[in-house]
């Protein structure tokens, strides 16, 4: 398997992802929220770039079965139903609903990766299911979305974990970035939360009071659900 890691959403270009299996990761918190919402029974998720698109789409689909979620710079968006905490999307809220979501980094990474042959949404929450799903692919690209066009520790460590574990399962040919992040994960795996907690985005969320989210999003393998991007621009269970 050829395995690359792209270290920010901004560096995703069609030629890097076209025709490949792509895993988009935004641990804090977009892809953790998406995975949680589908695991809790959401009918589908529609990622959009701008709040205006979300409002227009809600109008088109009808308010009844639609929930608007997301953030800008970790702050909920005015007029939206919920922000970007996974705890805002329990089954009693999200079951059978369409979640329209826009976030600063994760949704951009997904939309930039649309030319992939298969586009999967990953996080620590579904890491083992992701590994199982991609292990027979020939070319895999993991997008560590980062925050505001910057590298983040939590996304790179999650990408490194997947790369490192794939190395143990199949023959791999890793890019320099994948080698670096697989090492970084492996050498810090017993200390992952402590290392990630030094990150700028992590510290900002902590300051905003998202302590529960910061624990939740680092849990490994709590669901087998993998959101996958469809030709219709929606995310559904793989």
Q: Which residues bind a copy of itself (CB under 8 A)?
A: 7-8, 10-11, 149-153, 156, 174-177, 179-180, 183-184, 187-188, 195, 198-201
Pseudo-torsion of CA 10, 216, 203, 82, nearest 10°?
Answer: 70
- Please report how close the Cβ of residue 180 comes to a copy of itself at its closest, in angstroms: 6
Residues 205, 74, 218, CA angle at the centre, nearest 5°? 50
Closer residue to a copy of itself (CB): 90 or 168? 168
Nearer to a copy of itself, 67 or 109 (CB): 109
CB of residue 236 to a copy of itself, shortest distance in Å: 32
CA neighbor of 2 nearest in space, from 221, 25, 16: 16
Instruction: Return the number of the residue (54 or 184) whose C-beta is nearest a copy of itself.
Output: 184
**Spatial CB neighbours of 20, under 8 Å, sequence gap ≥ 6:** 116, 117, 137, 139, 140, 141
* Shorter beta-carbon distance to a copy of itself: residue 111 or 180: 180
CB of 6 to a copy of itself, least distance (A): 9
Q: Which residue has the tokens 């090492």?
A: 183
199 φ/ψ angles, rounded to the nearest 5 degrees: -75, 150
Q: What angle do CA 1, 47, 63 make, to 5 degrees?
A: 150
Work out how close the CB of 194 gets to a copy of itself at its nearest, in angstroms, rounded to a whole number: 12
Which one, 73 or 230, has the nearer CB to a copy of itself?
A: 73
Which sign does the torsion angle of CA 47, 36, 115, 185 carry? positive
- The answer to whether 184 and 156 are in contact (CB under 8 A) is yes
| Smallest distance, a copy of itself to C-beta of residue 21, A | 19
Instruction: State the Cα angle at 6 between 106 and 48, rounded to 5°.
Output: 20
Start-to-end CA distance of the chain, whole Å, equals 21
Q: Which is nearer to a copy of itself, 16 or 72 (CB)?
A: 16
For residue 115 the two structure tokens come to 């030319």
Cβ at position 7, least distance to a copy of itself in Å: 6
Closest to a copy of itself by CB, 1 or 93: 1
CB of 121 to a copy of itself, least distance (A): 22
């Amino acid at each position: 398997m050829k395995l690359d890691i792209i270290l920010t959403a901004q560096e995703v270009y069609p030629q890097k992802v076209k025709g490949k299996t792509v895993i988009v990761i935004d641990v804090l918190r977009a892809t953790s929220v998406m995975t949680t919402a589908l695991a809790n029974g959401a009918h589908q998720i529609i990622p959009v770039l701008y709040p205006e698109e979300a409002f227009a789409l809600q109008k088109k689909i009808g308010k009844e079965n639609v929930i608007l979620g997301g953030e800008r710079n970790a702050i909920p968006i005015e007029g939206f139903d919920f922000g970007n905490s996974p705890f805002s999307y329990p089954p009693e809220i999200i079951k059978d609903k369409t979640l329209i979501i826009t976030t600063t980094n994760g949704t951009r990474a997904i939309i930039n990766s649309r030319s992939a042959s298969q586009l999967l949404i990953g996080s620590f929450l579904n890491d083992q299911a992701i590994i199982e799903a991609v292990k027979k692919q020939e070319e895999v690209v993991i997008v560590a979305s980062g925050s505001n066009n910057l590298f983040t520790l939590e996304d790179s460590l999650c990408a490194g974990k997947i790369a490192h574990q794939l190395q143990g399962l199949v023959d791999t040919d890793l890019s320099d970035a994948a080698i670096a992040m697989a090492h970084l994960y492996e050498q810090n795996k017993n200390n992952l939360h402590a290392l990630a907690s030094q990150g700028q985005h992590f510290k900002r969320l902590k300051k905003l009071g998202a302590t529960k989210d910061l624990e939740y999003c680092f849990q490994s393998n709590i669901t087998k659900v993998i959101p996958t991007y469809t030709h219709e621009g929606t995310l559904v269970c793989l």
